[in-house]
Amino acid sequence: MSGSAVLFDAPGPKARRLSRILSIVGIALIAGGLAWVIMTLAAPRQASGGITLSGMFAPERWDIFSEPIVWQSIGEATVRTLQAAGIGAVGAVIVGVILSILRTAANPWVRIPTTVLIEFCRGMPVLLMMLFILLVFSTGALWAVVTALIIYNGTLIGEALRAGIASLPKGQREAGLSLGLTPLRTRLLIEFPQAFRQMLPIIIAQLVVLLKDTSLGYIVGYPELLRQTTNYLANFYGNRYMFSLFFVALAIYLTINLLLSWFARWLARSEERKRTGKKGKPDKTILDSTPNANAQALASGSGGLGAA
């Protein structure tokens, strides 16, 4: 009996038919909603004074992208976004590793203050943290964004690593201590690598959130992708290009995030294959050795009976 059959019964013909009908209705509603949105955006609008504005998909709203300087500006903004995300990701992983070690320390004078610090930083809004760092420490827009992303996401990554360490069997730590390793070396050499591999998809998913949070740099004046497209370029070329510029920025963000999400799922599948064996198949050496072992056991048993 499979594990799923223990939790619930397999759906019958009526349940499958109902599920199929609901799926068709849901797809139809989603398609209808998308069609309505597209038609609404494409339809001309009447502005104040009787002026007719063209639809959002009209060619005159997209001719801005024939200018090479526009793509150069968007490319530079994308590089600045990836720069802030890259520095923040590296810093967040380093901070998360340090916090996970301090959070699992045996000494309460280390563990309790670290727990309080983590809970405080987790509850602090990222935007408020950016503004505080910028106004109090005068670090500049880039480092205000990067520092806030490191602190906030570092605490979340640290908690993920702590959960990974806590999920390991106690025998892992006991084996390291029995070999003469110190508690810290046991944590670093035995427990932490396993926890990091186990939580790697979650860490990458958090880094996707970090990349999206770089758009908050718009508030503190950092010229990342969102600010560059919807503020600088739209103000320079005119508000009629606001939708097209916003759409291009959305497409760039979506592409990067989908690639990172795909990478996280690929890592999760690869780790699952490593734990269960390739495609879930049993080890061939075990299958080959089992008949020989059984034959030897039967032969020895029959020999013993004959001797008796």
Minimal CA–CA distance to 99: which of 192, 162, 191, 146? 162
Give the mean pLDDT of the chain.
83
Q: Which residue has the tokens 């599948």?
A: 269
User: Tell me: the pLDDT tens digits for 244-283?
Assistant: 888 999 999 999 988 888 887 887 788 778 777 655 454 4
**pLDDT number for residue 235:** 78
Task: Say if 303 falls within a structural domain.
Answer: no
CA distance 222 to 211: 14
Residue span of the structural domain in which 103 resides: 59-276
Mean pLDDT of 4-27: 80
Does 295 have pLDDT greater than 60? no
Task: Say if 53 falls within a structural domain.
Answer: no
Minimal CA–CA distance to 195: which of 263, 144, 271, 256? 271
Does 307 have pLDDT greater than 50? no
DSSP assigned state of 215: G
**pLDDT number for residue 283:** 46
Q: Over pLDDT 70: what percentage of the chain?
A: 86
User: Tell me: the pLDDT tens digits for 126-159?
Assistant: 999 999 999 999 888 999 999 999 999 999 999 9
Task: Say if 307 falls within a structural domain.
Answer: no
Task: Say if 297 falls within a structural domain.
Answer: no
Residues β-bridged to residue 53: 45
Task: Say if 15 falls within a structural domain.
Answer: no
Task: Say if 148 falls within a structural domain.
Answer: yes
Specify the number of domains making up the chain: 1
Residue 142 belongs to domain with CATH number: 1.10.3720.10
CA distance 95 to 151: 8
Which two three-digit tokens encode residue 213? 């949070």
112 within 8 A of 102, measured Cβ to Cβ: no
User: Tell me: the pLDDT tens digits for 214-231?
Assistant: 989 988 989 888 888 877
Task: Say if 115 falls within a structural domain.
Answer: yes
**pLDDT number for residue 239:** 79
Minimal CA–CA distance to 159: which of 115, 200, 220, 212? 115
User: Tell me: the pLDDT tens digits for 164-200?
Assistant: 888 888 888 888 888 888 888 888 888 888 888 888 8
**pLDDT number for residue 278:** 54
Task: Say if 47 falls within a structural domain.
Answer: no
CA distance 282 to 287: 8
